Amino acid sequence: MSTLNSEHTSDKNLDEVLLANAEHFEWLLSPMPRSSTPPGHEGGLVFHKFNSMSQTWSRSDA
Amino acid sequence: MHAVSGGVSGTALGLRPSVLVMQPTTLCNLNCGYCYLPDRGKRLGMPAAVNRAAAEAVARWRDSGHQVEVLWHAGEPLAVGVHKFENLLADWPPGTVHHIQTNATLIDEAWCDLFHRHHVRVSVSIDGPEHMNSGRVTRGGAPAWLRITAGIAVLRRQGIPFHMLSVVQDPAPEVAQLVYAHACDIGAEVLGILPQETKGTHGECSSTRKSQWVSFFAELFTLWRAHPVVRLRDLESVANCYDAVRSGITVDDLLDIPVEPIPTVSYDGEVTVMSPDLAGFAHPQHGAFTVGNVLRHPLEDLLSRAGSVPWVREALAGVDACRRICRYAVGCGGSWPANKYFELGRLDGTETNFCRNLHQAKIEGALSCQP
Ligand code: SF4
């Protein structure tokens, strides 16, 4: 499995690592319910804003 | 096309927030060992005019089709008292989604009634089982544990769902087990983890510590995978990133994504952007971390000018640097100016212990979970 464990030295970006581990993520995330909301711009990417619990994410189906 | 402010550095501040943070009082009735909030011992309350100015901005955004949620935070919001809080809420447009972050010690039936009527979404700060809360004490130094659990018991009796925010000091896998079990026991809906922040320590390299956090998150996520009862905020954020990448987002797209402004309105009307944790602090050269006051200018105007305020420009340069050089940026976004400032002494820095221990570690933890 590819990992990112050598800080800032690997030649792989996170997006590539995530895609290379798609099977693993599908297994890990499978209990998370999906909603049918399509992702908006930025492919639905919403960064963690700050440390409050007002922010949660639900998985979209698109 | 996004509406943005500033952009000298390339990365710009968004103009339409998704969340607005309100500080109804500086006061907190507890005196937790790890708390860094300035003025938490003083009762400085928010005048009605400040509340109204913020509410009117949210109403204007709503009239233009943009919804803004409100988070009452920074100090203990319940310390203002239930009647005063009811009056504050009365000024907001109907249908506004209100969130509250509370230490739970003041929750009683009257508060629950208010939460019900205004559909307030509640999050309680509780670190785990009793021994993990030993640093959480009253102003007189007595343990706050019984008062925290009494407040949570009222929430449960009244059928009010709540989230749990846990500040973790010791990232051992056994601690992950304790925290997750506790979240299940108390009936939390969502659990979020906050590594204890070491503000002002100028970030010594902590690769060992990061590996401990990776193991912590791997254990937490593995527990959840086997027993998915309490939602995990931190795994949901990794899932969001994974889904976005699968839908085609790459690191090259990051620089175009505006920085969430997160306007924070302090009790006196001063507005901080990008991080509520900067509110009430001052930079040695730039002065107070404010972009102006809602009593003097509409919030929308303050945000549209914020990108040219020197300290904000410097913080945006830090986001830009993160997004250009850090391989975790697609999962993190790079906009954590308070941690950069308190750890590195500068807003335009990049990596901190905090980001290694949370943003980087949760992604690596997710990668190293085992069936
Ligand atoms: S993980 Fe740290 S260095 Fe990387 S983008 Fe986030 S804040 Fe910047």
Number of structural domains (chain A) is 1
- Is the residue at A15 inside a domain? yes
- Is the residue at A55 inside a domain? no
- Is the residue at A7 inside a domain? yes
Q: Which of chain B's residues have a Cβ under 8 Å away from the Cβ of A29?
A: 235, 239, 242
- pLDDT of A16 strictly over 60: yes
B209 reaches A (C-beta below 8 A)? no
A11 reaches B (C-beta below 8 A)? no
CA of B240 to the centre of ligand 1 (A): 17
Instruction: Give mean pLDDT, residues A5-33.
Output: 82
Q: How does residue B1 score in pLDDT terms, banded at 50, 70 and 90? A: very low
Question: Rounded to whole angstroms, how far apart are CA atoms B272 and B223?
Answer: 38
A7 reaches B (C-beta below 8 A)? yes
CA of B274 to the centre of ligand 1 (A): 15
- pLDDT of B310 strictly over 90: yes
- pLDDT of B263 strictly over 60: yes
A55: Cα within 13 Å, side-chain hemisphere: 19
Q: How does residue A7 score in pLDDT terms, banded at 50, 70 and 90? A: very low
Atom of ligand 1 nearest to the CA of B327: 4
Least confident stretch, B38-52, B53-67, B163-177, B222-236: B38-52
Q: Which of chain B's residues have a Cβ under 8 Å away from the Cβ of A15?
A: 245, 249-251, 330
- pLDDT of B172 strictly over 80: yes
- pLDDT of B326 strictly over 80: yes
Least confident stretch, B31-35, B64-68, B230-234: B31-35
- Is the residue at A42 inside a domain? no
Count the Cβ atoms, other than its own, within 10 Å of residue B212: 17
Q: How does residue A37 score in pLDDT terms, banded at 50, 70 and 90? A: low
A28 to chain B: closest CA residue: B225
Q: How does residue A41 score in pLDDT terms, banded at 50, 70 and 90? A: low
From B130, B123, B181, select the one nearest B152 (Cα to Cα).
Answer: B123
Beta strands in B75-210 (DSSP E): 98-102, 121-125, 162-168, 190-195
Least confident stretch, B92-101, B207-216, B220-229: B207-216
Cβ of B242 within 8 Å of Cβ of A25? The answer is yes
A43 reaches B (C-beta below 8 A)? yes
In this structure, which residue's CA is closest to atom 3 in ligand 1?
A: B351
Going across the sheet that includes B190-195, the strands are B231-232, B190-195, B162-168, B121-125, B98-102, B69-72, B19-22, B264-265, B271-272
Chain B, 10-39: which have a CB under 8 Å from a chain A CB?
18-19, 21
Between helices B299-306 and B48-63, what is the axis angle to 10°?
80
Question: Rounded to whole angstroms, how far apart are CA atoms B243 and A15?
Answer: 10
Instruction: Give mean pLDDT, residues B243-269.
Output: 91
Residue whose token pair is 């995990």 = B232
Pick the more confident residue, B45 or B214.
B214
Cβ of B240 within 8 Å of Cβ of A57? The answer is yes
Mean pLDDT taken over chain A = 76
Q: What residues are paired with B137 via a beta bridge?
A: B143
| Chain centre distance of CA A41 | 16
- Is the residue at A53 inside a domain? no
Q: Which of chain A's residues have a Cβ under 8 Å away from the Cβ of B75?
A: none
In order of start, what are the domains of chain B with their CATH numbers? 14-307 (3.20.20.70)
CA of B346 to the centre of ligand 1 (A): 14
Q: What residues are paired with B70 via a beta bridge?
A: B20, B98
Q: What is the ipTM of this complex?
A: 0.88
A14: containing domain? 1-33
- Is this prediction's pTM over 0.95? no
Q: How does residue B205 score in pLDDT terms, banded at 50, 70 and 90? A: very low
Pick the more confident residue, A46 or B108.
B108
CB of B57 closer than 8 Å to CB of B22: no
Query: Above pLDDT 90, what percent of chain B?
Result: 77
- How distant is the Cα of B332 from the closest Cα of chain A, in angstroms? 6
Least confident stretch, A28-42, B67-81, B194-208: B194-208
Phi-psi category of B96—alpha, beta or left, where left has phi over 0 and alpha has psi -120 to 50?
beta
- Is the residue at A25 inside a domain? yes
- Is the residue at A47 inside a domain? no
Most confident of A2-6, B27-31, B309-313: B309-313
Instruction: Give mean pLDDT, residues A18-45.
Output: 84
- pLDDT of B202 strictly over 50: no
What does the pLDDT read at residue B317?
95
- Is the residue at A39 inside a domain? no
Question: Rounded to whole angstroms, how far apart are CA atoms B214 and B362?
Answer: 6
CA of B126 to the centre of ligand 1 (A): 27
CB of A20 closer than 8 Å to CB of A13: no
- pLDDT of B200 strictly over 80: no
